[in-house]
Structure 1
Amino acid sequence: MSAFKPLVFSGVQPTGNLHLGNYLGAIRKFVALQETHDCIYCVVDLHSITAQLVHDDLVEQTRSITAAFLASGIDPKKHIVFNQSRVPQHAELAWIFNCVARIGWMNRMTQFKDKAGKDRENASLGLLAYPSLMAADILVYRATHVPVGDDQKQHLELTRDIAAKFNNDFSARIASLGLGVEMEMGEETVNGFFPLTEPLIEGPATRVMSLRDGSKKMSKSDPSDLSRINLTDDADTISKKIRKAKTDPEPLPSELDGLKERPEAENLVGIYAALSERSREDVIAEFGGQQFSAFKPALADLAVDRLAPIAAEMRRISADRAFVDSVLRDGGERAGAKAEATMKGVREIIGLLAD
């Protein structure tokens, strides 16, 4: 893609309890990526106020997400773990990107339409500009890759559009100041300050659905706690939720195509595949033809085996607030140094007198 040093960035909002979907779709990938990439993982607390300004427990939620990162296996010494608001360069670059991005781009974002609903005039400006802040989160470190779920692909495409427009608008100054890096864009080689960040989407369960409705994504905001498996759930609770998960009366099919039009069955097979790190075909080969009364206990045992140790470690880490805060403080200092190096170049390119 480019001569930029490979770097992964991703973040999780501190809103509500983390659940199985967050773990399979994001956090487990974070852990695996740290074996092959330099990684920066962020608790994006500024994003959490775009849709809801007042939070009674934002500080504790920030600590809880951090504990989940650490309990899942992220190493804060080898990589960087911090909360977004500690590094003011995120907000500084987001404002510049607000001036780079076009209103039409923002209006096309499907997540804004979904979250704003019918009363778009009452949505916060922050919610509309959310993708600019996300772009700043990524590009303030000039990250080359972001592990994202399907629902965030559009925002990452916008991040690439913002980077490309900035590179193009300031191409002469970037070149004259010697701040560019050669990148291949199609058949062309161009000189740019920001990389065109690429998505990392992989694994058998990038989208985990509700245990009560296979047509809806598993969500922290669902009023039914039975709809999700929280990372803080103990073994008994995990087993109970899987036993009560909605299914249909038919046995599991013997072929993968048989899961079509059966969203709850497809979801549970996908969860089993992801937790066991096997393909859905393998799961169907093992359990095809069996009733859910046989499959659910096997899934419950697997989920408890994988998730209960993380829940216990989360509780242990969360109890030590001083340790969690020290991780965030150290990560913030290291992230801030990297972000300031980028912003020094941005200010110079734009012509902002900051010295």
Structure 2
Amino acid sequence: NCVSRIGWLNRMTQFKEKAGKNRENASVGLYVYPNLMAADILAYRATHVPVGDDQKQHLELARDIAQKFNHDYLGEDAAPFFPLPEPVITGAATRVMSLRDGSRKMSKSEPSEMSRITLTDDADEIAKKIRKAKTDPDPLPTDKSGLEGRPEASNLVGIFAALSGQEVETVLAEYGGRQFSDFKPALADLAVEMIAPIGAEMSRLLDAPEHLETVLADGAARAEAIAGPVLAQVKEMVGFSA
């Protein structure tokens, strides 16, 4: 927090979207949350971070914080302590949008359950949400440029491409010119095939709390082994060590 700058946080679009018009009453926790994300990244001196397209700005903030820390505490000529992490953004659907509004990100904070697919949804729920997803009246285009200005169509095609491991162009080569009444059942079947097993595995794990506690403890120990020495070095550099 002491390295980050208010001007940087004021530019965070995620805060603006979540706070909305009631920004003065938004929590400080929401405002400085990008700093917490940066700390999680820098604690491991990460060089590359897989992110969704909507989180790229937060990674850029982490880079700014790393660069300023290096400059302030090491000087311009010294080797940097924190590397500047690079984003890894791959796949057809780097930002999955709401099933009810293709201009808004799919989010668990949306009031409508029909706007999103969760990993705990069963097969019937997944299929229902896909069937009722908002679309437009036109058939699917035959090429990618035809998705411009059609956010709902672009979103559903992107989801299909991501789940099937195909390019958007490949999906449109098969479904271009066809109505959503043909496309949605295929997407629903694919989503059920890919997502439902995840929910089943989550249920299995939740029924084994002792195993989960063991996994969490092991993960915490591994994380501490990496981040602990980094934090100790940072404290020494800023003058907090005894």
Instruction: Classify the TM-score, shorter chain.
Output: over 0.9
- The question of 1:252 aligning with 2:155 is answered no
CA distance in 2, matches of 1:251, 1:120: 40
Tell me what 1:115 maps to.
18
Paired residue for 2:93, among 181, 205, 214? 205
What TM-score do the two structures reach when normalised by structure 2? Answer: 0.94
CA distance in 1, matches of 2:195, 2:6: 42
Q: CA distance change for structure 1 residues 304 and 189 in 2, over 3 Å: closer, same or farther? A: farther
Tell me what 2:113 maps to.
225
Q: CA distance change for structure 1 residues 241 and 123 in 2, over 3 Å: closer, same or farther? A: closer
- The question of 1:298 aligning with 2:186 is answered yes
SS of equivalent residue, structure 1 residue 99: coil
Tell me what 1:272 maps to.
160
SS of equivalent residue, structure 1 residue 209: coil
Q: CA distance change for structure 1 residues 108 and 262 in 2, over 3 Å: closer, same or farther? A: closer
Between 100-109 and 268-277, report the one with greater CA deviation: 100-109
CA distance in 1, matches of 2:160, 2:59: 29
Paired residue for 1:311, among 199, 213, 237? 199
Tell me what 1:145 maps to.
48
Q: CA distance change for structure 1 residues 128 and 212 in 2, over 3 Å: closer, same or farther? A: closer
Q: CA RMSD, aligned part only?
A: 1.7
List per-residue Cα deviations over 1:249-271 (Å, max 9, x = no partner): 22112222222222211111111
Q: Unaligned 5+ residue runs, structure 2?
A: none
How far off its partner does 1:111 sit? 2.0
Q: Which amino acid aligns with 1:140?
A: A
- The question of 1:129 aligning with 2:32 is answered yes
What TM-score do the two structures reach when normalised by structure 1? Answer: 0.65
CA distance in 2, matches of 1:234, 1:222: 19
Q: CA distance change for structure 1 residues 294 and 189 in 2, over 3 Å: closer, same or farther? A: farther
Task: Identify, as 1 or 2, the structure richer in helix.
Answer: 2
CA distance in 1, matches of 2:35, 2:90: 25
SS of equivalent residue, structure 2 residue 41: helix
Q: Which amino acid aligns with 2:36?
A: L
- State how 1:273-288 maps to structure 2 within 5 Å: 273-288=161-176
Q: Which has the higher contact order (CA 8 A, sep 6+)?
A: 1
Tell me what 2:236 maps to.
348
SS of equivalent residue, structure 1 residue 308: helix
List per-residue Cα deviations over 1:69-123 (Å, max 9, x = no partner): xxxxxxxxxxxxxxxxxxxxxxxxxxxxx11122222222222222233333333
How far off its partner does 1:317 sit? 0.8
Tell me what 1:167 maps to.
70
How far off its partner does 1:213 sit? 1.6
CA distance in 2, matches of 1:215, 1:150: 14
How far off its partner does 1:351 sit? 1.9
